[in-house]
Amino acid sequence: MNEITDATFEEQVLRAGTPVVVDFWAPWCGPCKAVEPILEELSQAQGDRIVFAKVNVDESPVHAARYGVLSIPTTILFENGEAQETVIGARPRAYYEKAWARWLADS
């Protein structure tokens, strides 16, 4: 998964030509560590269809605040520069697949 910062967010997420799932996380967050392998699996299954990225909210808080991220992990799927679907908290893979079904290829 790509590491995104406040400096690269606009270019890599808002101007991206494909949908981008952004995982807002922090190194001290236990549930964030549980979600990471699930997002990695989905990323590998999607190939170039969807980009998966992560933002460390401690190091890059601007966009977390802009999109109302109050608890982590929070994942937001962006398409055409707009937030489309938000998942708050650690969830099983099936939950993410259902939330993002419109964008995901069969995996």
Query: CA 70 to CA 66: how far, in whole Å?
Result: 10
Whether 98 is catalytic is no
Q: Which residue's structure tokens are 């069969």?
A: 106
CA 13 to chain centre: 10
Coil, strand or helix at 72? coil
Annotated catalytic residue within 4, 20, 29, 38: 29
Q: Under a CB-based contact definition with an 8 Å cutoff, are residues 104 and 42 in contact?
A: yes
Beta strands in the chain (DSSP E): 2-4, 20-25, 51-56, 74-79, 82-88
User: Is 4 annotated as catalytic?
Assistant: no
Catalytic residue among 13, 21, 32, 50: 32
Residues classed as catalytic: 29, 32
